[in-house]
Amino acid sequence: MKVAIPKEIKNNEFRVAITPAGVHDLVANGHDVIVETGAGIGSSITDDEYESAGARISATAAETWAAADMLLKVKEPIEQEYGYFRDDLLIFAYLHLAAEPELTAALVSAGVTAVAYETVQLPSG
Protein backbone atom coordinates (compact mmCIF):
# COMPACT_ATOMS: atom_id res chain seq x y z
CA MET A 1 0.00 0.00 0.00
CA LYS A 2 1.15 3.54 -0.71
CA VAL A 3 0.84 5.60 2.46
CA ALA A 4 1.21 9.35 2.02
CA ILE A 5 1.67 12.14 4.53
CA PRO A 6 1.02 15.69 3.33
CA LYS A 7 2.21 18.83 5.03
CA GLU A 8 -0.55 20.19 7.27
CA ILE A 9 -1.82 23.53 5.94
CA LYS A 10 -4.58 24.36 8.39
CA ASN A 11 -3.82 27.57 10.28
CA ASN A 12 -1.72 27.01 13.41
CA GLU A 13 -1.33 23.26 12.84
CA PHE A 14 2.33 22.30 13.06
CA ARG A 15 2.12 18.60 13.88
CA VAL A 16 2.73 15.77 11.43
CA ALA A 17 0.76 12.53 11.20
CA ILE A 18 3.71 10.13 11.51
CA THR A 19 7.24 10.07 12.89
CA PRO A 20 10.26 8.50 11.20
CA ALA A 21 9.84 5.49 13.52
CA GLY A 22 6.33 4.98 12.16
CA VAL A 23 7.63 5.30 8.61
CA HIS A 24 10.27 2.67 9.38
CA ASP A 25 7.61 0.25 10.66
CA LEU A 26 5.39 0.74 7.61
CA VAL A 27 8.30 0.26 5.21
CA ALA A 28 9.48 -2.82 7.15
CA ASN A 29 6.01 -4.29 6.61
CA GLY A 30 6.13 -3.78 2.85
CA HIS A 31 4.42 -0.42 2.42
CA ASP A 32 5.65 2.50 0.35
CA VAL A 33 5.65 5.78 2.27
CA ILE A 34 5.57 9.18 0.61
CA VAL A 35 6.08 12.31 2.73
CA GLU A 36 5.56 15.81 1.36
CA THR A 37 8.68 17.92 1.69
CA GLY A 38 8.60 19.98 4.87
CA ALA A 39 5.77 17.97 6.44
CA GLY A 40 7.75 17.41 9.63
CA ILE A 41 9.35 20.83 10.03
CA GLY A 42 6.79 22.06 12.59
CA SER A 43 7.57 18.97 14.68
CA SER A 44 11.34 19.36 14.25
CA ILE A 45 11.57 16.39 11.87
CA THR A 46 13.60 16.85 8.69
CA ASP A 47 13.07 15.37 5.25
CA ASP A 48 16.42 13.60 5.69
CA GLU A 49 15.11 11.81 8.79
CA TYR A 50 12.09 10.58 6.84
CA GLU A 51 14.30 9.45 3.96
CA SER A 52 16.61 7.61 6.36
CA ALA A 53 13.55 5.77 7.70
CA GLY A 54 12.64 4.68 4.16
CA ALA A 55 10.22 7.34 2.94
CA ARG A 56 10.27 8.97 -0.46
CA ILE A 57 9.99 12.76 -0.30
CA SER A 58 7.46 14.36 -2.66
CA ALA A 59 7.82 17.91 -3.93
CA THR A 60 4.21 19.09 -3.76
CA ALA A 61 0.88 18.49 -2.07
CA ALA A 62 -0.62 17.46 -5.42
CA GLU A 63 2.08 14.81 -5.89
CA THR A 64 1.61 13.56 -2.33
CA TRP A 65 -2.17 13.23 -2.55
CA ALA A 66 -2.00 11.64 -6.02
CA ALA A 67 0.46 8.97 -4.84
CA ALA A 68 -1.68 7.88 -1.88
CA ASP A 69 -3.75 4.77 -1.43
CA MET A 70 -4.03 5.84 2.20
CA LEU A 71 -3.42 9.40 3.38
CA LEU A 72 -2.54 10.18 7.00
CA LYS A 73 -3.23 13.66 8.35
CA VAL A 74 -3.51 15.25 11.76
CA LYS A 75 -6.41 17.63 11.09
CA GLU A 76 -9.30 17.51 8.66
CA PRO A 77 -8.71 18.46 5.04
CA ILE A 78 -9.48 22.10 4.33
CA GLU A 79 -11.35 23.42 1.30
CA GLN A 80 -8.25 23.92 -0.84
CA GLU A 81 -7.52 20.18 -0.48
CA TYR A 82 -10.98 19.00 -1.60
CA GLY A 83 -9.82 18.91 -5.23
CA TYR A 84 -7.48 16.05 -4.32
CA PHE A 85 -10.36 13.80 -3.22
CA ARG A 86 -11.08 10.69 -5.29
CA ASP A 87 -13.07 7.51 -4.89
CA ASP A 88 -10.09 5.19 -4.37
CA LEU A 89 -8.61 7.23 -1.51
CA LEU A 90 -8.62 6.31 2.19
CA ILE A 91 -8.03 9.17 4.65
CA PHE A 92 -7.22 8.85 8.36
CA ALA A 93 -7.43 12.15 10.28
CA TYR A 94 -9.25 14.00 13.02
CA LEU A 95 -12.21 14.91 10.81
CA HIS A 96 -14.72 16.59 13.17
CA LEU A 97 -17.47 15.90 10.63
CA ALA A 98 -20.35 17.12 12.81
CA ALA A 99 -18.79 20.58 12.81
CA GLU A 100 -17.76 20.44 9.13
CA PRO A 101 -20.83 19.78 6.93
CA GLU A 102 -19.05 21.06 3.81
CA LEU A 103 -16.22 18.59 4.35
CA THR A 104 -18.71 15.78 4.91
CA ALA A 105 -20.48 16.62 1.65
CA ALA A 106 -17.19 16.82 -0.27
CA LEU A 107 -16.00 13.44 1.04
CA VAL A 108 -19.31 11.77 0.20
CA SER A 109 -19.52 13.40 -3.23
CA ALA A 110 -16.01 12.21 -4.14
CA GLY A 111 -16.55 8.72 -2.72
CA VAL A 112 -13.61 8.97 -0.30
CA THR A 113 -13.36 6.42 2.50
CA ALA A 114 -12.54 8.45 5.60
CA VAL A 115 -11.85 7.32 9.15
CA ALA A 116 -12.05 9.90 11.92
CA TYR A 117 -9.49 9.23 14.64
CA GLU A 118 -11.89 10.62 17.23
CA THR A 119 -14.41 7.83 16.50
CA VAL A 120 -11.99 4.90 16.77
CA GLN A 121 -12.34 2.97 20.01
CA LEU A 122 -11.87 -0.44 21.52
CA PRO A 123 -14.85 -2.82 21.39
CA SER A 124 -15.24 -2.26 25.14
CA GLY A 125 -15.84 1.44 24.50
Report pLDDT for 95: 97
pLDDT, one tens digit per residue, over 73-102 is 999 999 999 999 999 999 999 999 999 999
21-55: pLDDT as tens digits: 999 999 999 999 999 999 999 999 999 999 999 99
Q: Which residues of 16-27 are buried (b: 16+ CB within 10 A; e: fewer)?
A: bbbebebbbebb
Task: Specify the amino acid at residue 52.
Answer: S
Kind and range of the H or E element at 27? helix 20-28
Parse the chain into domains and list their residue ranges.
Answer: 2-119
Question: What's residue 125's pLDDT?
Answer: 81
Average pLDDT over residues 4-30: 98
Superfamily of segment(s) 2-119? NAD(P)-binding Rossmann-like Domain (3.40.50.720)
